[in-house]
């Protein structure tokens, strides 16, 4: 049997953005409901060491941080539902969302915080060595490669930015690109080419990530020349896959304005073009994509939604009084 649940604020996603929105909304007395999705806790649950989330002097573990965030949200009164939303109707309020088992969620306001997943190459060794030398986030993990050799794979803005960022930690950065020219903006390319600590391997695709003996982690990448087919090996301590991200916004295509898949919000707010629908975190952020920025945006979305509800309640009371 399917159920219908109504909430003042429905939050889609249980990463740092969704759970921060839940904490703020619950503390405002809105009894928010969080639909957790297929990845309860979001992207940080697939990493280990987190060293840049404020408030913790020592390195903490991503899954632990997200458990604590969820416990905090529940402690102040947020409800959690384990479901994956497969359909949304934003054409009228209350908004109507349907889970994959047919359960229906109606809501006066909706906070979308479904995140963005890094794109991976899908080659041998990548998954097994993820977090053990293979990463998709230089800002998150670059620090762990201080003084070591790293490679960055990709040819767009993200790859060039990651390579430049990594020079803060490493004197030996190699950009590996499958073509003979980069897609990145010219100004970024100029900075890349001018950097003494970055070398580029053109026309090379990664065939396999190679791990060392036992628990040694990544020791190198096997490459294949895209012009000649020649195979070579590049030793490295860290490999950063930087071929872009895919925001989880398929549900909103044709319903909300998207920019390269990211939900467009009014500048400096979390408001989408549909009153009562807000977006927060990586799903609306193609630049920063960090846990702390996602959490900050979750806070903004809860506050924007709370103000929206307060105004709507006030208008409804005024209209009712005028009708008497
Ligand atoms: C390996 C790795 C390591 C990282 N390390 C760091 C780090 O050290 N420091 C740092 O600041 N950042 C790090 N990041 C980035 C950080 O994890 C993200 O910026 C952050 O998690 C974004 O939060 P979010 O809430 O916007 O989205 P996410 O964390 O991506 O959460 C999205 C949520 O939406 C849910 N969802 C998606 N679709 C649906 C649907 N249809 N219905 C219901 N729910 C849905 C998912 O289940 C998930 O709960 C790392 C990322 C990765 C992948």
CA dist 278 and 89 (Å) reads: 14
Distance CA 6, CA 233 (A): 57
CB of 33 within 6 A of ligand 1: the answer is: no
- Residue 316: left (phi > 0), alpha (psi -120 to 50), or beta? alpha
Residue 291 CA to ligand 1 center (angstroms) comes to 7
CA of 229 to the centre of ligand 1 (A): 37
Which pLDDT tens digit goes with each residue over 192-209?
A: 999 999 999 999 999 999
Q: What is the pTM of this model?
A: 0.89
| Domain 134-241 in this protein, CATH class | alpha beta
Which amino acid residue places its CA nearest to atom 21 of ligand 1? 43
Q: Residue 301, preceding bond cis, omega within 30 degrees? A: no
User: Is the C-alpha dihedral spanning 269, 270, 271, 276 positive or negative?
Assistant: negative
The pLDDT-based confidence of 48 (bands split at 50, 70, 90) is confident
Q: What pLDDT was estimated at residue 215?
A: 80
Q: What is the pLDDT of residues 57-73, one digit of tens each?
A: 999 999 999 999 999 99
**Which range among 38-47, 221-230, 292-301 shows the weakest confidence by mean pLDDT?**
38-47
CATH number of 4-118+245-323, picked from 3.40.1370.10, 3.40.30.10, 1.20.1050.10, 3.50.50.60: 3.50.50.60
Domains 4-118+245-323 and 134-241 share a fold: yes
299 catalytic residue (yes or no): no
pLDDT at 289: 92
Domain ranges of the chain: 4-118+245-323, 134-241
């Amino acid at each position: 049997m399917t159920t219908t649940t109504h909430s003042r604020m429905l939050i889609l996603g249980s990463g740092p953005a969704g759970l921060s929105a839940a904490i703020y909304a619950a503390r405002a007395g809105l009894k928010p409901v969080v639909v957790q999705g297929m990845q309860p806790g979001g992207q940080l649950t697939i990493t280990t060491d987190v060293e840049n989330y404020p408030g913790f002097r020592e390195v903490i573990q991503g899954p632990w941080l997200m458990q604590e965030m969820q416990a905090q949200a529940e402690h102040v009164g947020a409800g959690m539902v384990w479901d994956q939303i497969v359909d949304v109707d934003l054409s009228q309020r209350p908004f109507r969302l349907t889970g994959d088992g047919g359960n229906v969620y109606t809501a006066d306001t909706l906070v979308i915080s479904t995140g963005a997943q890094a794109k991976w190459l899908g080659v041998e060794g990548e998954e097994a060595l993820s977090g053990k030398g293979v990463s998709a986030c230089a800002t998150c993990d670059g620090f762990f490669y201080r003084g070591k050799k790293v490679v960055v794979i990709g040819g767009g803005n993200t790859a060039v930015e990651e390579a430049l960022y990594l020079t803060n930690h490493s004197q030996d950065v190699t950009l590996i690109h499958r073509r003979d020219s980069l897609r990145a903006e010219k100004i970024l390319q100029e900075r890349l080419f001018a950097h003494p600590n970055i070398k580029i391997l053109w026309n090379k695709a990664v065939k396999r990530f190679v791990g060392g003996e036992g628990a040694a982690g990544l020791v190198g990448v096997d490459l294949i020349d895209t012009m000649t087919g020649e195979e070579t090996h590049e030793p490295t301590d860290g490999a950063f896959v930087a071929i872009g991200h895919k925001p989880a916004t398929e549900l909103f295509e044709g319903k909300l304005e998207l920019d390269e898949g990211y939900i467009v919000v009014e500048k400096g707010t979390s408001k989408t073009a549909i009153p009562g629908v807000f977006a927060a975190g990586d799903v609306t952020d193609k630049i920063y994509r960090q846990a702390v920025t996602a959490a900050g945006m979750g806070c903004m979305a809860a506050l924007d939604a709370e103000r929206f509800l307060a105004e709507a309640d006030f208008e409804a009371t005024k209209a009712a009084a005028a009708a008497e």
